[in-house]
Amino acid sequence: MIPGMDPKQMMRMMQQMGIKTKQVVAKRVVIEQEDGSKLVVSSPQVVQIEMQGQTSFQIMGSVGEEASGPSVEDIQMVVEQTGASKEEAVAALKETNDIAEAILKLKKE
């Protein structure tokens, strides 16, 4: 925002430039990162911005990080293939980060 500018003036100026904005009501925003971790924005204020055929989002709020574990489907597959307990399957998946390796590891034990 431009310091000292009234938010209503800013909205009018943006509309004149062909920029459309819309408030998005959200409880929580989760961004899944390539490494499997998640950024979580709690109590977010989300604005959808459309300009020149492109849509973008502006997100403001309290940001925290959330670790990610193996999916329920992956755990179930390892359990079915090995006969191991869910706890053993989770431990093997966390250790190997690979379904096939986790299955092989548990079958060797």
Each of the 109 residues of the chain gets a pLDDT tens digit; together they read 567 778 788 888 888 999 999 999 999 999 988 877 789 999 999 999 999 999 999 999 999 988 777 888 899 999 999 999 999 999 999 899 899 999 999 988 7
Domain of 33 in residue numbering reads as 7-66
Does one domain contain both 49 and 83? no
Buried b (16+ CB within 10 A) or exposed e, 32-64: eeeeeeeebbeebebeeeeeeeeeeeeeeeeee
Whether residue 53 sits in one domain with residue 11? yes
Q: Residues 58, 99: one domain? A: no
Our count of domains for the chain comes to: 2
